[in-house]
Structure 1
Amino acid sequence: MLISYKYRAYPDATAEARLNTALDTCRWLYNKLLEECTTAREAWIAPTIRGMQARIVTLKEENPFLKDVYSKVLQMVNYTLWSNIRALSQTKKRGRTIGKLRFKSASRYRTLNYNQSGFKIDREHSRIIFSKIGTVPFKMHRPYSGEVKGVLITRSGDRWYVIIQAERGASESKREGRSVGIDVGLNAFAVDSDGAVIENPRFYEHSRDRFRKLQQSIARKQRFSKNWKKTKRKLEEAYEHITNQKNDFLHKLSRQYVDTYATICVEDLNIKYLKENGKSRGLRRSILSASWGRFFSYLSYKAESAGTNFIQINPGIRRRCAQTAEVL
């Protein structure tokens, strides 16, 4: 299984300038490949991922600035594009109305993917040497384990992060231990079969007024002016703070359950259906803010690495069991 470890990075001015240039170059390549895919489809020619991969080679000859970015990173741009195309195709097959893939703006392309090569990790000095970028120090607040398969470096506002992806084997299942069932909700985030009630922290609801004021302030300012950019950065930082709060809560709660129980059971909820078919906008927003899917995801991969049994039960089976129990 592949585990991701996220660390805060601190590139110097030179490395940061190279990172920003590389991001802009990758964004240009993404948009160029998307444009050529769209043109080919309009001409009734089916583009392929291999064809676009070969196209990168000719684009590098036509545009020498592409050579300033490590070749594997450029290849992963094409992989990202086709991952988005496949995801859009799967959404269409499920009967949903879809549009077209959008071109990436400067603020929407934030990650360089060094997959398998192009980097060297110096664990002793907590730094990574990236090809065509240089040395980037990072704060290793917790050790990583396993065979490193790749490193991503991403920008979030004015901050940089490195994500080390390492492959680890799953632990053997625990043969004995306590079991627990967890039922998620909105009034209480979770209620388990041992009677514990986990309050819903409602991070977004508590900060909604601040978001609204910042959004109104942005709307009143001239687009792309210094004050507009400054206020927009404040809004991004506010959203990042909420995301960090939510992730911290979900990580700690999922870790607590995985360390305490040998078997964890949850309902296999169709969260996307609940969000799309909520009776009101407020209900849909509350379901989105609760992040049940992320909680289940954290439980799943933590359980796999710890040898805990993680079981998702079909809600229909649970209802039938409850009805049978009432009859008996």
Structure 2
Amino acid sequence: MPVYEFKAKPNRSQCVAIDEAIRVAQFIRNKCLRLWMDEEKVGKYDLNKYCAVLAKEFDFASKLNSQARQASAERAWSAIAHFYDACKQKLPGKKPYPKFKKNTRSVEYKTSGWKLDEDRKGVTFTDKTGIGHLRLKGTWDLNYYPLEQIKRVRLVRRADGYYVQFFVQVDIAVETEPTGKAVGLDVGLESFYTDSNGQKEENPRFYRKAERRLKRLQRRVSKKQKGSKNRIKARQRLGRAHLKVQRQREEHAKRLARCVTTSNDLVAYEDLRVRNMVKNHCLAKSINDAGWYQFRKWLEYFGRKFGKVTVAVPPQYTSQKCSSCGAIVQKSLSTRTHVCECGAELDRDHNAAINILRIGLRTAGHAGTGLLDSQNAWGEVANTLAEATQSEQVAS
């Protein structure tokens, strides 16, 4: 479901009203989570019914639209369902037990509680929160879609202001001509990725480049007195700096993913568990700065959009196995050249990319379909798009 985002232009009283609506949504989510913890056999629909009880019990909760309250309950159930899925799959390690939210930044409306202007350049929130009419600033044209296709509207607070997101139910598939090409990608830290053709993409290292400025802004926050207006201003400057780095990383991953998927019919990549890899404190900062997860997310999204095959292959032995003879050649991370007894000598990442491509082609051949729904994580991408930022918007 594509997300179209606009910058909102609220006045001071509207900012206070939006913040209050976000706090109410957080309160309802936490109360629903507490109900699930205290009582047995509480399901999704029980949480939705509990929203009406909270509205009668608390006057401030009744000001929020009824469907917005249900959307907050659905957020609580989403965390609970994620915990149940992890238990059923018997994943190793600590299970993601649901936690109470302390710093929620958004409130979500469904099909009621809001009304678009005739020119689609503004939106009015009709509940009792006092938000009222908001002017929208952006380049997307909502006139292209009927109101029935707009399923959700979300108000988001960020370091640089407030945004309004519209979730539109529309078919994103685009017909493209086959290219007859396939590529394997090996992501890394020295270069962002190396493909099976030997081409390398430079790692931009956005956080490393901005780290000096971020440290300076962080020191300024630490020196300000807690609770003072100067500390609030310093925190806002620090938040805007972090937001810029985040958007740079997301836009870079999006641009590369679109180029790769439109240039090839099949894209194979490693099924990396980034959450486990960042436990290495020596490499955690560099891994997070690379943005491998964002790149994979957009690869799978554009693969679905343009009808291309995206295959996630197991990463085991892709770097150690020789792409020429198949022998295992043990080497440390510092060894950047693959040298085998069969005479093969090439870059370590290039060797891994060739192995990834071969595994991907073998997997696609067994699947027997042009789109591997079981291999890609399209459902995961859809959830991610629901949390999309400005740089994550997808053109129609």
Flag whether TM exceeds 0.5 (same fold). yes
Q: Structure 2 vs 1, CA of residues 235 and 70 (structure 1 numbering), >3 Å: closer, same or farther?
A: same
Structure 1 contact 174–309 (Cα < 8 Å) conserved: no
Bigger proportion of residues as helix: 1
> How far off its partner does 1:6 sit?
2.6
Secondary structure of the residue that 1:27 maps to in structure 2?
helix
Aligned to 1:141: 139
Q: Does 1:258 align with 2:253?
A: no
Give the direction of change, closer, same or farther, for the CA distance of 1:325–1:168 in structure 2 (3 Å limit).
farther
Question: Amino acid of the residue matched to residue 33 of structure 2?
Answer: L
Q: Which amino acid aligns with 2:5?
A: K
The more displaced of 141-150 and 264-273 is: 141-150
1:1-328 to structure 2, matched below 5 A, reads 2-38=1-37, 40-41=38-39, 45-91=40-86, 93-97=90-94, 101-105=98-102, 108-122=103-117, 124-132=119-127, 133-143=131-141, 147-169=149-171, 170-171=173-174, 174-276=177-279, 278=280, 281-316=281-316, 318=318, 322=322, 325-326=325-326
Query: Partners in 2 of 1:255 and 1:241 — Cα distance?
Result: 21
Cα deviation, 1:116-150, whole Å, max 9, x if unaligned, reads 33333447342223332332222232446763221
Report the CA distance between 1:323 and its aligned residue: 5.7
> Structure 1 pair 196/126, CA: closer, same or farther in 2 (3 Å)?
farther
Q: Is the 8 A contact 1:174 1:308 kept in 2?
A: no
Retained in 1: the 8 A contact 2:250–2:291? no
- Does the 8 Å contact 1:128/1:136 carry over to 2? yes
Partner letter of residue 82 of structure 2? Answer: A
Q: What SS class does the counterpart of residue 315 from structure 1 fall into?
A: coil
Q: What code does the residue aligned with 1:32 have?
A: K
Q: Is the 8 A contact 1:174 1:307 kept in 2?
A: no
Following TM superposition, by how much is the alpha carbon of 1:185 offset from its aligned partner in structure 2, in angstroms? 0.6
Q: CA 1:6 to 1:193, structure 2 compared with 1: closer, same or farther past 3 Å?
A: farther
Alignment deviations for residues 264-312 of structure 1 (CA, whole Å, 9 cap, x no partner)? 2212222222223x3xx23122112211111010111122112222222
Name whichever of 224-233 and 96-105 sits farther off.
96-105
> What is the rounded CA distance, in whole Å, between the counterparts of 1:139 and 1:264 in structure 2?
36
Structure 2 portions without partners, runs of 5+: 328-341, 343-396
Q: For 2:2, what is the secondary structure of its paired residue?
A: strand
AA aligned to 1:221 is K
AA in 2 matched with 1:96: G
What amino acid is the match of 2:101? K
Equivalent-residue separation in structure 1 for 2:302 and 2:197 (angstroms): 21
Contact 2:179 2:263 in 1 (8 A): no
AA at the equivalent of 2:288 = L
Q: Give the counterpart letter for 2:135 in structure 1.
A: P
Deviations 1:68-110 (A, max 9, x none): 21111111111111212333454564242358644433xx111
Tell me if structure 1 keeps the 8 A contact 2:150–2:167: yes
Q: Secondary structure at the match of 1:5?
A: strand
State the one-letter code of the partner of 2:25.
C
Q: Which runs of at least 4 in structure 1 moved beyond 6 Å after TM superposition?
A: none
| Cα distance change on mapping 1:96 and 1:123 into 2, 3 Å | farther
Q: Confirm or deny: 8 A CA contact 1:126 1:137 kept in the other structure.
A: yes
| SS in structure 1 of the partner of residue 76 of structure 2 | helix
Name whichever of 7-16 and 199-208 sits farther off: 7-16
Q: Which amino acid aligns with 2:122?
A: R
Tell me the SS of whatever aligns to 2:166: strand
The answer (yes or no) to whether the contact 2:154–2:164 under 8 Å persists in 1 is yes
**Superposed displacement of residue 63, structure 1:** 1.6
- Give the Cα–Cα distance (whole angstroms) in 2 for the partners of residues 151 and 296 of structure 1: 26
Q: Which deviates the most, 170-179 or 218-227?
A: 170-179
Range moving further from structure 2, 172-181 or 63-72: 172-181
Q: Secondary structure at the match of 2:276?
A: helix
Deviation at 1:25, TM superposition (A): 1.8
The answer to whether the Cα contact below 8 Å between 2:267 and 2:311 also exists between their aligned partners in 1 is: yes
CA distance in 1, matches of 2:137, 2:195: 36
